[in-house]
Amino acid sequence: MGGDVKAFSTDNIVVRKLQKLPDNVSQVIQTAVLGLSAGLSAVLFLFMTNTLFDLTYVRFAARSKTFFALASLATIVSTSLLVGFLLNKLSPDAAGSGIPEVKSAYWKELGYLPFRTTLIKFVAGTLSIGGGASLGREGPSVYIGAGVASNLAGLMGSPRRGRRAPTLMGSSAGLAAAFNTPMAAITFAIEEILGDLNSRYLGRVVLASVLGAFAVFAILGRQPAFALPAIEKISWLHYAVVPLVAAIASLAGVAFQKATLLLRAWSRRLSAVPAWVRPALGGLVTWALGVTLFLAAGRIGVFGLGYNDLSRALNNDFPWQIAGLMVLAKLAATIASYGFGGCGGIFAPSLFIGGMTGYFLGGLAGIWMPLTPADHIVLSAVGMSACLGTIVGAPLTSLLIVFEMTHQFALVPALMIGLIISRTVSRLSGRLNFYDAVLVQDGHELHKIHPPLDLQSWQGLEVSAIANPRPVVVRSLDLASLQGVVDKYPYNYFPVELEGRLAGVLTRQQILEALPRQDAPEIRNAATCFPDQTVREVGDKFIQSPVNVLIVVGRESGDIRGIITLHDLIRAQASVSS
């Protein structure tokens, strides 16, 4: 693919040296190099986004309100247009958070991430977040770390089909460096990407996360993301408010997910506005909300990460009434920034929305009950964890990230109560977290294959274990219907079912060639297999298939049960040998 960094040949001295070492030694060396490199790339990204924001919005805020309004408008519109150009003209895959794309690369591309997309993600993310879009840096940091590790692994001799471990290590190191949170980075890799506590990669993920944190410690110091006063004199009364805070912060997370997905789908149908201009629409919404809050209260937290205002709230140095307005403005600005195709993550906005929700409700409750200053801090932290946990569906990560960002053990009991409520709200709101919902909206429902660890067991595995059980089936050869299929789904092969029977297979290329001719594409014959057949039994059938695809059908009914592509077979077998 374009932009890939080619691997060194085996004649390269570095590759030869690594190949001569014992496997465990070479793995440790590779992990150290990849973890540090990914961590340093995330630190550089952090530095660039902070520098750009400080040179613009922080300096603008020190001038007159009129100057701030005009200068911030020029900044957010110009950077949003640049971001739109980079994403739509050079690398569309660099849009959004980056975490869904890392998950897709890990499970579908065996860890391969193009270098060009990584570079565009770095530049576009810097412009977007530093330029004022209401997005976070954790998603791009995860993608950049994973992309750097994937391409460095290629330079060190790893084949394109063997980069799952480097991608996983790079993503955890990137997150550890982005937030100064190595433990949360480990649980994030397990909960969000792997989904398997017994993975053989776990030890390397731990080492990479530690090295990613070491990179940020060495350059920026060991300070937490939020410096809090010592939390003392916590009253028992605040536990009466914790469930309310967790529930409302979680509902804010649900509202964010549903509204963002709706806006994202609608904006793609907005044919009157060119795709590269759409991020500027999100920028204009953010600007209108941010300027309104700045003119009314002198706060700039709607723009960018918002950590300065959130940090003040966590130190009880913020009007709680204003916090309620900040929640509404930040929520709407983040929905617009992401929904219109900006480049940035959702961790930071989630933490901001949840934290300000807790701070506002704590202030409101303080009218009727004698809450201490420490209680207000705890309630803010509960909101942060609950909102983030609901959106990303990673409860341990959401608890640990708030704990590590504050270094306050006194928060943990309330955070655990909030975690239970957050999980309940998350499960009731739907089966998919935000990242998986984005993938499904883009036509990438992940089929996670965990094959046996030895070749003999692999060959005896039933094909139903590796088949995609939810193929996109074409049931009409109407041209408008076919156009809708290729627009909505990125797949290359589509089973065709006519009058309730399997008719064959259409390729994406066939459909795209037929559409300009206004002619129905020719259906190719389909090779079939049964769900209970083994991988060994169906191997020869791929040779017989004219398009290297097998359709899994019921032995009795003949109905379509799934699809297996040659790529599915290769990546599953690569998982066995990696």
Task: Identify the CATH number of the domain in which residue 539 sits.
Answer: 3.10.580.10
pLDDT per residue, tens digit, the chain (578 aa), is 445 555 444 446 666 666 666 667 778 888 899 999 999 999 999 999 999 999 999 999 999 999 999 999 999 999 999 999 999 989 888 888 889 999 988 888 888 899 999 999 999 999 999 999 999 998 999 999 999 999 998 888 788 777 888 999 999 999 988 888 888 888 888 888 877 666 677 888 888 998 888 888 888 776 666 667 777 788 888 899 999 999 999 999 999 999 999 999 999 888 888 999 999 999 999 999 999 999 999 999 999 999 999 999 988 889 999 999 999 999 999 999 999 999 999 999 999 999 999 999 999 998 998 899 889 999 999 999 999 999 998 888 888 888 888 777 888 899 999 999 999 999 998 888 899 899 888 877 666 655 555 556 666 777 777 788 888 899 888 888 888 888 888 788 899 998 888 888 998 888 988 888 888 888 888 888 888 888 778 777 777 777 778 888 888 888 888 888 777 776 666 655 55
How is residue 294 written in tokens? 């700045």
Using CA atoms, how far residue 499 sits from 213, 477, 559, in Å, is 58, 12, 12
pLDDT at 460: 75
Pairing status of strand 527-529 against strand 549-553: parallel
Provide CB contacts within 8 A for 336, sequence distance 6+.
134, 263, 281, 282, 285, 286
Helix pair 138-155, 115-130: axis angle to 10 deg: 160
Residues 412 and 476 both lie in one domain: no
Whether 80 is in a domain gets the answer: yes
Residues 185 and 255 both lie in one domain: no
Residues 269 and 132 both lie in one domain: no
Distance CA 355, CA 544 (A): 59
Distance CA 230, CA 211 (A): 28
Whether 228 is in a domain gets the answer: no
pLDDT tens by residue, 130-185: 999 999 998 999 999 999 999 998 888 788 777 888 999 999 999 988 888 888 88
Whether 266 is in a domain gets the answer: yes
Give the SS3 label for residue 6: coil
468 DSSP β-pair partners: 563
Distance CA 140, CA 41 (A): 11
Residues 133 and 246 both lie in one domain: no
Residues 195 and 255 both lie in one domain: no
Whether 89 is in a domain gets the answer: yes
Per-residue exposure over 508-517, b if at least 16 CB sit within 10 Å of its own CB, e if not: eebbeebeee
User: 58 burial class (0-12, 13-18, 19+ CB within 10 angstroms)?
Assistant: middle
Give residue 363's region: left, alpha or beta (phi > 0; psi -120 to 50): alpha
Residues 411 and 489 both lie in one domain: no
Distance CA 265, CA 563 (A): 27
Residues 152 and 38 both lie in one domain: yes
Q: How many domains does the chain have?
A: 3
Identify the CA nearest to 147 among candidates 112, 96, 107.
112
How is residue 166 written in tokens? 């480097």
In a 13 Å sphere around the CA of 525, the CA atoms on its Cβ side amount to: 6
How is residue 414 written in tokens? 């309330």
pLDDT tens by residue, 435-457: 989 988 887 766 665 555 555 66
Provide CB contacts within 8 A for 188, sequence distance 6+.
172, 175, 394, 397, 401
pLDDT at 444: 73
| Residue labelled with tokens 């993550």 | 345
Whether 139 is in a domain gets the answer: yes
Q: What residues make up the domain containing 326?
A: 238-441
Per-residue exposure over 181-217, b if at least 16 CB sit within 10 Å of its own CB, e if not: bbbbbbbbbbbbbbeeeebebbebbbbbbbbbbbbbb
Whether 133 is in a domain gets the answer: yes
**Dihedral of the CA atoms 435, 436, 438, 443 (nearest 10)?**
150
Provide CB contacts within 8 A for 30, sequence distance 6+.
18, 153, 156, 166
Whether 494 is in a domain gets the answer: yes
Distance CA 344, CA 128 (A): 7
- Cα 287-292-298 angle, rounded to 5 deg: 105
What pTM does this model have?
0.84
CA 238 to chain centroid, in Å, comes to 33
Number of residues assigned to the chain: 578
Domain boundary among 418, 441, 464: 441
Identify the CA nearest to 115 among candidates 225, 5, 209.
5
Residues 568 and 427 both lie in one domain: no
| Residue labelled with tokens 């690569």 | 574
Whether 433 is in a domain gets the answer: yes
